Amino acid sequence: MDIVGFLKSQFICHLLICYIFIVSGLIINFIQLFTLILWPINKQLFRRINCRLAYCISSQMVMLLEWWSGTDCTLYTDPENYPKYGKENAIVILNHNFEIDFLCGWNFCERFGVLGSSKVLAKKELSYMPIIGWMWYFLEIVFCKRKWEEDRKTVVQKLLNLRDYPENFWFLIHCEGTRFTEQKHQISMQVAEAKGLPKLKYHLLPRTKGFAVTVQCLRNVVSAVYDSTLNFRNNENPTLLGVLNGKKYHADLYVRQDVPEDEQECSTWLHKLYQEKDAFQEEYYRTGTYPAIPTVPPRRPWTLLNWLFWALLLLYPLFKLLINMINSGSSLTLASFAFVIVIASVGVRWMIGVTEINKGSTYGNNDNKQKHK
């Protein structure tokens, strides 16, 4: 292992990266709180400012993938559609098979300049999570409880509020509702059999109600639906811990553009789409490629420059404090510092654990609630 690779794998480096992310994130959340005074005065200015503040947070995660890990991203798409990416509002359908698929979705947004304004349909619990959850609140992210009877009115209202959004945005949606596991897949296919729907090998049955409402509410402002299928070469199963350790992966993302012609037929259209996604997945496993022309979108420097700014701003006072504590010679001070390090270590491991598949949501596991929407 070279010296750079060795340093990337060291826990002290991980701790410093997390320190920068957490402290800068809380500072930005605090600034976002004060932007609320702009909402009744100039809503569009509030939105533009929060897009840029949100970018300061989410771009740090993308920096880890692009610059720290050095992961390559190859895009397979129609050359005629490529120039439109980032220049129009779109709904982006993502598969949910990997621990870092959300990060690759953000990377896709970053390469085309819409990371700061990107939207998601997220579970309500995430809105209470400091940094990312609070950042999403100010971005007007659509949160749901995964109980459609309770969610419908709130989701519709939140989506309608995005119709006059001043920035180009991509609305990222995992139509499967939860990350793929073998247990969830077995239950999902039991539901497919009970409903007379074609079974899928590599995806869960899509939940259609949320997607249909999203299309219906955003139809006047969204130009297209981008169906994206993500895979990693050499059958790799990347993890956030691997990215943090500086391990390099190679992601292949297949993107095709379409628009459901009839809002009433969204359900049928989406089921057909997932059958096609299954076929593309089968083809990728067999050949290692997608049926489109590969291209590598240029990597932009802003994620790295943003991270370097926060690193320079926050590491100096940290090192100064550490030196003062060591010079004090106080056993109590040093013990307190060691305790903080232990707590920080637990916190870092918890943050990584949130993304792990085997510790993911149990949504979709309960066969007593097999109502696919």
Mean pLDDT on 334-361 = 62
Q: What is the total count of domains within the chain? A: 1
The pLDDT > 90 percentage for the chain reads: 51
pLDDT tens across 21-31, in order? 989 999 999 99
> Residues, the chain, total?
373
pLDDT the model gives residue 371 = 47
Q: What is the CATH number of the domain that holds 75?
A: 3.40.1130
Is residue 87 pLDDT above 70, yes or no? Answer: yes
Taking the C-alpha atoms of residue 153 and residue 169, their distance in angstroms, rounded to an integer, is 22
Distance in angstroms (rounded) separating the CA atoms of residues 221 and 169:
10
Any domain includes 262? yes
Q: Identify whether 354 is part of a domain.
A: no
In this structure, are residues 124 and 144 in contact, taking their beta carbons and an 8 Å threshold?
yes
- Cα–Cα separations (whole angstroms), residue 3 to 16, 72, 99, 241: 18, 21, 27, 19
Domain presence at residue 339: no
pLDDT at residue 52, as a whole number: 97
Residue 92 tokens read as 């982006």
The pLDDT value recorded for residue 373 is: 43
311 lies in some domain: no
Among residues 337, 202, 214, 353, the alpha carbon closest in space to that of 280 is found at 202
> By residue range, what is the domain housing residue 257?
3-302
In a domain, 274, yes or no: yes
CA distance 265 to 262: 5
Q: Confirm if 97 and 204 have CB atoms less than 8 A apart.
A: no
